[in-house]
């Protein structure tokens, strides 16, 4: 995979993480999206082109509609033209990242759903993040294919780990360890299993990275643990 495609894949992955995630941590994911754009010459050129003659202030007034008289909440729309949609969402993300716009206030004002931040963020993800990601994905078919391949690898690695970690727990039950170390290993592996069961690959990968140092310290590495760490790298 070329470096150019890898950088675009980073953007697509960051957008997917934002769309599939929760309100908590969303601002950090928006920062990652912007960082991935800055790291890619292709994406930098794309967003420079679409924002060059784009009037963001006018677009905000047009697409972020203020509440009508007597209403408590406004409504958000997106430009119909694909280039304008990219420009609008990009500029909105820049404002959120710079704290010029509060994501929480944006959700409660224009994406309000029954007072639920979770539901409001899900609406924001569906109406704003996913179309933004999908337009860029359509612009770079090779990156789309690479992202799909990476997704399939993650899914396969997750399935393999869910089958291997119980075997690793059984192995350490038979391994000569102090009770405190045995208890610690169970806590770590249970945490990894819980993260994987929830589909939280990033957390599972971090837990298993720590577990790798743990088993090395104990001198307890073997072929099974090595296989686990190899699959963890694919999450």
pLDDT at 1 over 60: no
User: Structure pTM?
Assistant: 0.66
Compute the residue count for the chain.
235
The pLDDT assigned to 52 comes to: 96
Q: Is 9 exposed, middle or buried (0-12, 13-18, 19+ CB in 10 A)?
A: buried
Residues 43-59, mean pLDDT to the nearest whole number = 96
The pLDDT assigned to 36 comes to: 97
Taking the C-alpha atoms of residue 214 and residue 183, their distance in angstroms, rounded to an integer, is 12
Tens digits of residue pLDDT in 125-153: 999 999 999 999 999 887 767 667 777 88
Element (H, E) at 65: strand 64-65
Q: What does pLDDT average to over the chain? A: 91
Tens digits of residue pLDDT in 178-214: 989 989 999 999 999 999 998 888 889 999 999 999 9
The pLDDT assigned to 144 comes to: 67
Which stretches of the chain are DSSP H helices? 3-20, 26-38, 41-51, 56-63, 82-97, 103-110, 117-124, 130-139, 141-174, 179-197, 201-218, 223-232
């Amino acid at each position: 995979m070329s470096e150019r495609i890898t950088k675009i894949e980073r953007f697509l992955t960051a957008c997917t993480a934002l769309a599939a995630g929760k309100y908590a941590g969303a601002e950090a994911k928006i920062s990652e999206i912007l960082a991935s754009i800055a790291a890619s010459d292709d994406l930098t050129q794309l967003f420079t082109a679409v924002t060059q003659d784009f009037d963001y202030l006018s677009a905000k007034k047009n697409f972020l509609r203020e509440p009508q008289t007597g209403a408590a909440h406004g409504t958000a729309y997106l430009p119909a033209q694909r280039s304008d949609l990219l420009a609008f969402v990009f500029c909105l993300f820049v404002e959120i990242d710079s704290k010029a716009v509060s994501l929480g206030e944006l959700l409660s004002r224009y994406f309000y759903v029954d007072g639920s931040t979770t539901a409001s963020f899900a609406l924001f993800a569906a109406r704003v993040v996913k179309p933004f990601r999908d337009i860029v994905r359509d612009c770079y078919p090779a990156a789309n294919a690479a992202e799909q391949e990476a997704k399939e690898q993650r899914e396969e690695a997750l399935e393999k780990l869910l089958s291997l970690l119980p075997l690793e727990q059984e192995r350490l039950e038979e391994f000569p360890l102090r009770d405190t170390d045995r208890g610690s290993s169970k806590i770590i592996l249970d945490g990894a299993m819980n993260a994987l069961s929830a589909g939280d690959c990033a957390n599972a990968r971090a837990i298993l990275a720590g577990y790798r140092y743990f088993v090395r310290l104990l001198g307890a590495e073997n072929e099974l643990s090595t296989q686990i760490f190899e699959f963890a790298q694919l999450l």
